[in-house]
Amino acid sequence: MPPSPQQGEIDLARNLRTIEWLKTQLLEQISLLFKAMLQGSEEFTLDALAGIIIALLVLTRRLGLSFARLEKKLFQQLKSNIEAEHEVEKWYGDLSALLDYLSGMKR
């Protein structure tokens, strides 16, 4: 049985509230990251970075996008920035290192 129009409105409102909550979570985690970096705390820095990644991934889904599409776009951008010799790649090789790491995770 399809959801009633009222149920659809409730689901939409709940999804919008969840998106707003995720946006605040993202800002909170970024703030925690900056504080952790100031304190020099490796553990708090990792916690904040993990929180940012989780918030972004859940936000992806709440926006109606798939993890697979995000992953595809991530790989495309990494490869494009490597080919364009982005400064971070040229100076440190970080983009290649990330691409290698993510490629290894897919095996």
Kindly report, residue by residue over 36-88, the tens digit of the pLDDT. Answer: 999 999 999 999 999 999 999 999 999 999 999 999 999 999 999 999 999 99
Closest C-alpha to 83, from 24, 17, 75, 1: 75
Cβ–Cβ under 8 Å, residues 36 and 47: yes
pTM of the model: 0.85
For the chain, domain boundaries: 1-65, 66-107
pLDDT category of residue 7 using cuts at 50, 70 and 90: confident
